């Protein structure tokens, strides 16, 4: 049985500016040991998709479609069911560890808490397991720091602590939402290496959310490019990187900085990076058709009013665009 099966997921929000469709018909599957990346600009629906999977949407949100975890339907599930799933069978690493950690409780208490709630461990057993987890994620002198508070750790160490919390109960699915935000390059690399090792070690399914194409390239086997709450391109990481079938995907890659070296003598020529014109539209202003139509140089007259259907480029690669033709 498929580990995670998401079909036609939709999230409708009531915002101060009016009703908005934050996620518009997303479908994908995830197997044990498989890694999936969600990539796109801020506001394209990546984190909202994760919140829907976790059952952490605002009270005003309405969902439809299907989210099945090992055959159990989670879309529209009662809070009582989601409380047993969240933190146990689905774990999440949030963007900013200081918002995920409670400043009033010790890290030992916070790592042990899901073990007491979901596994019924007694206090001492949970504390012993919390120590083992903190050791595993690389907290130095973990035994001496169990009773320390979040502010007494560095940013990278706090993120390691949130990873320990997410993994405490041995989840089937791990969601990492921009897990290296505000970390320097060296620490970010260490965090991503730790996540890769733990996913392989425990056979979890991983959903990695990022706007960083380099991070996606190095850490996932399959990826979805999102824009305006819609998946505009989906395939193996290699297929998407090589094919770049959708105009939005092309724009993302064109605006990515690269390090160019020259073996020729002479001054270095500085070039301005091309940028996608305009900005991500507000959710309540998305057109009924292709959400990228307003920024696309290739848009036709009817693109904004008629949503394109996915075009299969291979058995594992598809894109939603009128210009994309099957191969």
Q: What is the pLDDT of residue 15?
A: 87
Q: What is the pLDDT of residue 261?
A: 45
Q: Is residue 38 part of a domain?
A: no
Please provide the average confidence, as pLDDT, over all residues in the chain: 92
Q: Is residue 293 part of a domain?
A: yes
Q: What is the pLDDT of residue 273?
A: 72
Q: What's the average model confidence in pLDDT over 209-226?
A: 95
Length in residues, the chain: 327
pTM: 0.92
- The DSSP bridge pattern shows strands 18-30 and 4-15 to be antiparallel
Q: Show Cβ contacts of residue 225 under 8 Å, excluding neighbours closer than 6 positions.
A: 39, 40, 231, 232, 233, 234, 240, 246, 248, 249, 252
Q: Is residue 264 part of a domain?
A: no
* Residue 207 and residue 33 in contact, taking contact as beta carbons nearer than 8 Å: no
Q: What is the pLDDT of residue 107?
A: 97
Q: What is the pLDDT of residue 227?
A: 96
Q: How confident is the model at residue 149 (pLDDT cuts 50, 70, 90)?
A: very high
Q: What's the average model confidence in pLDDT over 291-320?
A: 95
Question: Is residue 232 exposed (0-12), middle (13-18) or buried (19+ Cβ within 10 Å)?
Answer: buried
Q: Is residue 310 part of a domain?
A: yes
Q: What's the average model confidence in pLDDT over 25-39?
A: 97
Q: What is the pLDDT of residue 262?
A: 46
Domain count, the chain: 1
Q: Is residue 307 part of a domain?
A: yes
> Where is pLDDT greater, at 268 or 271?
271
Q: What is the pLDDT of residue 183?
A: 81
pLDDT over 70, % of the chain = 96
* Residue 110 and residue 102 in contact, taking contact as beta carbons nearer than 8 Å: yes
Q: Is residue 295 part of a domain?
A: yes
Q: Is residue 82 part of a domain?
A: no
Domain range for 240: 223-255+288-327
Q: Is residue 303 part of a domain?
A: yes
């Amino acid at each position: 049985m498929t580990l995670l099966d998401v079909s036609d997921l939709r999230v409708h929000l009531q915002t101060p500016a009016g009703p908005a469709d934050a996620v518009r018909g997303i479908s994908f599957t995830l197997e044990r040991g498989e890694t999936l990346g969600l990539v796109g600009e801020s506001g394209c629906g990546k984190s909202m998709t994760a919140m829907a999977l976790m059952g952490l949407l605002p009270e005003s949100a309405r969902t439809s479609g299907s989210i099945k975890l090992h055959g159990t339907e989670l879309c529209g599930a009662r809070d009582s069911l989601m409380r047993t799933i969240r933190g146990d069978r689905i774990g999440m690493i949030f963007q900013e560890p200081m918002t995920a950690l409670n400043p009033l409780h010790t890290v030992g208490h916070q790592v042990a808490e899901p073990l007491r709630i979901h596994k019924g461990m007694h206090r001492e057993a949970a504390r012993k397991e919390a120590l083992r987890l903190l050791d595993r994620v690389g907290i130095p002198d973990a035994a001496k720091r169990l009773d320390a508070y979040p502010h007494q750790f560095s940013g990278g160490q706090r993120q390691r602590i949130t990873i320990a919390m997410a993994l405490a109960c041995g989840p089937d699915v791990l969601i990492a939402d921009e897990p290296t935000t505000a970390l320097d390059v060296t620490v970010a690399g260490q965090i991503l290496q730790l996540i890769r090792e733990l996913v392989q070690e425990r056979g979890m399914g991983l959903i990695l959310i990022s706007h960083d194409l380099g991070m996606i390239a190095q850490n996932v086997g399959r990826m979805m490019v999102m824009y305006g709450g819609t998946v505009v391109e989906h395939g193996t990481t290699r297929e998407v990187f090589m094919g770049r079938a959708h105009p939005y995907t092309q724009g993302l890659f064109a605006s990515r900085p690269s390090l160019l070296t020259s073996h020729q003598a002479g001054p270095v020529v500085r070039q301005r990076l091309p940028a996608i014109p305009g900005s991500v539209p507000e959710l309540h202003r998305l057109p009924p058709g292709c959400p990228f139509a307003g920024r696309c140089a290739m848009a036709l007259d009817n693109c904004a009013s008629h949503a394109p259907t996915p075009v299969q480029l291979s058995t594992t690669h598809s894109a939603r665009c009128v210009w994309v033709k099957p191969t």
